[in-house]
Every structure is written in structure tokens, then in C-alpha cells.
Structure 1
Amino acid sequence: MTVEIDSLEVRYGATRALRDVSCRVAGGEVLALIGANGAGKSTLLRTLAGVTRPRAGTVRVLGQDTTRLRAHDIARRGLRLVPEGRHLFDDLTVGENLWMGAHRSRREAERNSSQLERVFELFPVLREFAGRRAGALSGGQQQMVAIGRALMGRPSVLLLDEPSLGLAPRYVAQIMDVVGGLAADGTTVVIAEQNAAAALRTADQGIVLSNGRITHSGPARGLLEDDDVSRHYLGVGTNDRTDGGEPRRLTLALDRLDV
């Protein structure tokens, strides 16, 4: 397994943000974390990345115990986090922002150039805007830069925190398509999303978090068809389903997104 989480507990003062969270993510698999605001999705990603320290439990990435490692040490081991809000350097160009995510050494120069070309293949608009200030881009384009910057480090594990937040549907569709392509190439992706429909449609596995606990888990397709998950997180119920079992309003929404 690429990512292994066992009995994870995280507290912010007296508040337990995560409670006894355990899961496994295999190589080249997409795991969707869904749940309401404050459910613990971002906390779980931040803990995996070493930004937040757990009170109890263990995290293993690529077979190594990373529970107590610092964030930059975890990043060196092949895990990268794209945080909510993107956190770009607005006054730097798109190209400069991308290079910020690259390994810096002479021996890495050729591989970095190859990876930059890969980022441009995934997000062609970034090649066109490479010399433009990042702060002048649209929200969707900035999200592409943030993901591209993380990919410059050639991660084995990519964590995405609310990548579709505030984006137009066409950008949501493009980003989810890229996520699927990265997984097909062997990158493990963990994506925290309030857009549960798009995330589950893209993912292999899913976890529903509520008040820091896992309430549902399993194959993403099964969660899409679970009536309790549909009612609480997709806004549909049994009477809203198509003959094929998928929520009708979900199907219509995804058709509009072309996800």
C-alpha cells in the first residue's frame, strides 16, 4: 500500500478533529474524502503531509513511518499537498511558480525540464501563460498552476484539498480528468472535496467523514449508489434515482460538467 493510516487521532485543544481514522490507499488509486465543512477532510490531508501532528495513531507513506516527520522531509519522500486556496506567488510568473516546486540541483535539471513539459501537456493553457503573472489568472487557471507546481516535484502521492472550490464547471471537469490521468500513470491521489459527485465519479475508493469519524467507506461507485450518502451529501434520495440506480439529479449535473 502507498498510504496506510491507522487509528489516527488529531486534536485542536479540547476539540477532536479526527477520531480513530484508519484507511489504506494503493498505488495508482484515487481516494475521495467527502463530508461537510469541519468534518475533518483538510485535517486529514494536513496530517498526511506533516503540517499537523497527530495525538495518536500512525501514518505510513511508501512503506515508511512518516507520523513524526517534518513536512519537508515527507515531501522529499514523494508526497505533495496542494492546499485549499492555492497559495501562489501572485507577483511571480506562471513559469516561476511552477519552478518553485521543482527539485533544485544540477543533476535534476534535465528531469525538471521534462516534468515541466509534462505539466504543460496536462494543462496546455499554462504554456501560453508561462510569462504572465500568476495573480492575473482566473481561479481555474490558478488551480492548474498550484497542481502543476506540486507535480514538478514528481510526487508518488498527491493530496488535493478542495481543488474545485469556486471554479467554473469546465475547470472542474478538466481537473478531475487530470486526476484520473495521473492515477492511470501510477500516482496515488487523495482528494478532499465538497463536490462529492465529481470526486466520487473520479475516485476508486471513497470515505465519508463526519465530526472527525469515518461514517461510510468503500468503492466510490458503491457510495454514489448508497441512499444515505446520496441523501446527505449528493442531495438526492431513492425517488430521485435513474433506472440504473444512479441519482438522477447527480447524473444530470455530471452530464453538464462532462466529468
Structure 2
Amino acid sequence: MSLEIENLEVRYGATRALRDVTCRVAEGEVLALIGANGAGKSTLLRAVAGVTPPRAGTIRVLGEDTSRRCAHEMARRGLRLVPEGRHLFDELTVAENLWMGAYRCRRETERNSAQLERVFELFPVLREFTGRRAGMLSGGQQQMVAIGRALMGRPRVLLLDEPSLGLAPRYVAQIMDVVGGLAADGITVVIAEQNASAALRSADRGIVLSNGRITHSGPARALLEGEDVSRHYLGVGADDGTRAGEPRRLTFALDRLDV
């Protein structure tokens, strides 16, 4: 297993943000995290990435107990987090931002060049803008740079926090296509998304978080077609004339979903 989480608990002061969270993600698998506002999706990603230490429970990444490892140690272990908001270096060019992702292995010139080509294969538009300042790009292009920068570190586990937030539909489709195809590179992906339908359609499995607990889990397709998940997280009501699996599911209510 690439990622194993057992009985995880995270607190912010007296507030329990996560409790009794247990899940496993295999190598090359895409796991979608969905849930309502404040459900704990981002907290779970931050805990796995070593940004927010857990109060209790165990996290194993690539077979090693990393429950008490900090973020830079997790990066050395082959894990990358793409946070909400992208956090690019706006004054640097696209190429410079991408190369920053390979800083830890900067002396491996040949492998880094090959990885850069892989990023351009995944996001062809970035090749056209290598000399442009990142701050001058559209939101969708910036998100591609953020994901590309993480991929430059050749991660084995990739955590994505709200990659579609605020993006035009065409960019959402491109990014989700890439996410769904990363298994070909042997990368394990965990994606927390407000666009629950798009995330589940790109994933192998899904988890629904509510008030810091897992309430539903299973194959992504089964969650998409399940009546309870559709009603609460995909905006499909029992009285709107639609059924699980119909196209109407794409018109979910964004205001029910968050980080």
C-alpha cells in the first residue's frame, strides 16, 4: 500500500477536526475525498503531508510510519502536496516555477529534463508559456503549473487540494483527465474536491467525510450512482425527476461543498 491511515484523530484546540479515520490507498490508485463544508478533507491532506500533526492514530506512507514526520521529511519520502490556491512564485517564469519542483534533486539533470518533458506531455499549453511570468497566466494555467511543479519532484504519492476551485469548465476537464491518468506513471493520488462529480469520475475509489468522520466509502462509480451520496453531495434530489447515473448529476450545488 502507498498510503495507510488508521484511527486518525486531528484536533484544532478543543475541536476534533478528524476522528477515527481509517483508509488505505494502493499504488497507482486515485482516491477522491468529498464532503460538506468543514468536513475535514483539507485537514486529512495536511496531516498526511506532515503539515498538521495528528493527535492520535497512525499514518504510513510507502510502508513507513510517518505519523510524526514533518513536511520536508515527507517531501524526501516522495510525497507532494499541491495546496489550495496554487501558491506559485508569481514573479518567476513558468519554467523557473517548474524547475523549483526539482530543487531537491537538481543535480540529476538528465532525469529532470525527462520529467519536464513528461509535464509538457500532460499539459502541452505550458510549453508555449515557459518564458512567461506565472502571475500573468489564467487560473487554469496556474493550476497546471502548480501540479507540474509537484510532478517535477517525481512523487510517488500526490495530494491535491481543490485543484478545480474557481476554474473554467474546460480547465477542470483537462486537469481531471490528467489526474485520472497519473496511474500510468505509478503515482498514487488523493484528491480533495468541491467538484464532487468530477473528482469521482476521475477516481478509482471515493470517501465521503462528514464532521471529521468517514460516512461512505467504496468504488467511485458506486458512490456516483448511490442515491444518498447523489442527494447530499452531487445536488441530485429525489423529487427533481432524475435518477442516479443520469447527466443531470453534473448540475450539483457548489455551495454545499468546500475544502
Q: Give me the TM-score of the superposition, normalised by structure 2.
A: 0.93
**Does residue 203 of structure 1 match 2:203?**
yes
Residue matched to 2:61: 61
> Any residues of structure 2 matched to 1:61-140 within 5 Å, and which?
61-105=61-105, 107-140=107-140
**3-state DSSP class of the match of 2:108?**
helix
Q: Is the 8 A contact 1:102 1:112 kept in 2?
A: yes
Q: Tell me by how many angstroms 1:247 deviates.
A: 3.8
In 1, Cα distance between equivalents of 2:189 and 2:105: 26
In 2, Cα distance between equivalents of 1:105 and 1:246: 45
**3-state DSSP class of the match of 1:206?**
strand
**3-state DSSP class of the match of 1:194?**
coil
**3-state DSSP class of the match of 2:248?**
helix
The number of aligned residues is: 251
Residue matched to 1:256: none
Which whole-Å deviations, capped at 9, do the CAs of 1:89-112 have from their partners, x for residues lacking one? 100101111111104456411111
In 2, Cα distance between equivalents of 1:216 and 1:252: 21
Which whole-Å deviations, capped at 9, do the CAs of 1:12-52 have from their partners, x for residues lacking one? 00110001100000011000000112110000000000000
Residue matched to 1:183: 183
In 1, Cα distance between equivalents of 2:50 and 2:27: 20
- Identity fraction in percent: 82
Q: Tell me by how many angstroms 1:241 deviates.
A: 3.6
Judged with a 3 Å threshold, the aligned counterparts in structure 2 of structure 1 residues 56 and 178 are, in CA distance, closer, same or farther, namely: same
**3-state DSSP class of the match of 1:111?**
helix
Unaligned runs of 5+ in 2: 253-259
Q: Is the 8 A contact 2:234 2:250 kept in 1?
A: no
Q: Is the 8 A contact 2:104 2:153 kept in 1?
A: no
In 2, Cα distance between equivalents of 1:162 and 1:104: 25
In 1, Cα distance between equivalents of 2:48 and 2:90: 27
**3-state DSSP class of the match of 2:114?**
helix
In 2, Cα distance between equivalents of 1:225 and 1:174: 23
Residue matched to 2:245: 246
Which whole-Å deviations, capped at 9, do the CAs of 1:129-153 have from their partners, x for residues lacking one? 0000000000000000000000000
Which whole-Å deviations, capped at 9, do the CAs of 1:62-87 have from their partners, x for residues lacking one? 00111101111111111100000000
Aligned AA (1:34): I
Q: Is the 8 A contact 1:103 1:112 kept in 2?
A: no
Q: Which moved further from structure 2: 233-242 or 144-153?
A: 233-242
In 2, Cα distance between equivalents of 1:135 and 1:161: 20
Q: Give me the TM-score of the superposition, normalised by structure 1.
A: 0.93
Unaligned runs of 5+ in 1: 254-259
Residue matched to 2:222: 222
In 2, Cα distance between equivalents of 1:113 and 1:176: 24
Aligned AA (2:28): G
Task: Give the root-mean-square deviation of aligned CA atoms.
Answer: 1.4
Aligned AA (1:48): V
Q: Tell me by how many angstroms 1:252 deviates.
A: 7.3
Judged with a 3 Å threshold, the aligned counterparts in structure 2 of structure 1 residues 66 and 85 are, in CA distance, closer, same or farther, namely: same
